[in-house]
Amino acid sequence: MNLTPISSPSVNRLITIGVSHYCEKARWALDWLEIPYVEERRVPPFHRSITRRYGGSGVPVLVTKNGAYTDSTDILHYGDAIASNKRRLYPADPQLRCHVNDLETWFDVRLGVATRCWGYAQVIDDRQRIKQVWLQQRSGLEKLAFELTYPYLRRKVRDGYAATPEGAARSILKIQQIFDEVGKWLERGQSYLVGDRFTAADLTFAALAAPVLFPPEYGFQLTSMNQLPDKIAAIIQSFRETTAGDYALRIYREHRYSPREKLHKGQFELVGGRR
């Protein structure tokens, strides 16, 4: 686990790129565990001037009074260890815990990388659409910096994430394989991936699958389905209709916001007090 000592902030700070699904994973976990934090959204590549201060490069980074966590999995483990509510993301049983850890790593390394590649391949060459994705509610200065650096950013994303038509085609196959595998487990009749309750494995699958599902409860405003180009909407619809896609959307509906937050936000119904 990466933990960088720092001077103590009065409130936890979550540094993110708002749209990032790894950031969504961390944001969801903190919401679920009811750990207070303030999200600080940055526009790439300007997040780096902050994340580097804490010993990381990418996002999410969680800055706490105990130090800074520079990886989503570390953030989940930290949150789980300090949460005062009873909603643990990792089972106490060593065998189940080990299974959750293995699935989380698999989704982090395979699914998250593939869905990001596919997602960026759809938008990175379209200056207006990438602006909608990156510049929501950002300052004039960041908008100006984006305009000046877009050609550089575009190249970085294309090269760094293989976000090209060929990369996207390869990624779709990988995503389908993972969805098929997860679908097979679920078709045995289980409601969750490990044991009989919601864990970090379910959260990670749903968050990292989000770029091909567009869940309405995603913790950052995504383009609505009817504003997406038909070709992209059709791909998303086909993933939504799979067993694994349907399960991830249910996990979002039932577990993305705590009942208290649902009431507070006023826009989500309380689902029978179910966690």
Ligand X SMILES: N[C@@H](CCC(=O)N[C@@H](CS)C(=O)NCC(=O)O)C(=O)O
Applying CB under 6 A, the residues found at the interface with ligand X are 17, 20, 22, 44, 48, 57-60, 71-73, 108, 116
| Identity of the amino acid at 94 | P
Q: Name which of 220 and 252 has its Cβ closer to ligand X.
A: 220
* Partners of 68 in the β-ladder: 4, 63
Q: Name which of 22 and 218 has its Cβ closer to ligand X.
A: 22
Q: Name which of 116 and 255 has its Cβ closer to ligand X.
A: 116
Q: What are phi and psi for residue 197, nearest 5 degrees? A: -150, 170
What's the rounded Cα separation, in Å, for the pair 36 and 16? 15
Q: Name which of 23 and 249 has its Cβ closer to ligand X.
A: 23
Q: Minimal distance in Å, beta carbon 187 to ligand X?
A: 28
Q: Minimal distance in Å, beta carbon 251 to ligand X?
A: 18
Q: Minimal distance in Å, beta carbon 62 to ligand X?
A: 10
Instruction: Count the residues in the chain.
Output: 275
Q: Minimal distance in Å, beta carbon 53 to ligand X?
A: 14
Of 211, 199, 212, 180, nearest to 251 by C-alpha is 199
What's the longest Cα–Cα distance across the chain?
53
Q: Minimal distance in Å, beta carbon 161 to ligand X?
A: 8
Q: Name which of 59 and 200 has its Cβ closer to ligand X.
A: 59
| DSSP line for 102-118 | HHHHHIIIIIHHHHHHH
Q: Is the dihedral of CA 215, 90, 269, 39 positive or negative?
A: negative
| Identity of the amino acid at 144 | L
Q: Minimal distance in Å, beta carbon 61 to ligand X?
A: 9
146: Cβ contacts below 8 Å, ≥ 6 apart:
43, 131, 134, 135, 138, 153
- On the question of a cis peptide bond just before residue 60, with omega within 30 degrees of 0, the verdict is yes
Q: Name which of 170 and 250 has its Cβ closer to ligand X.
A: 170
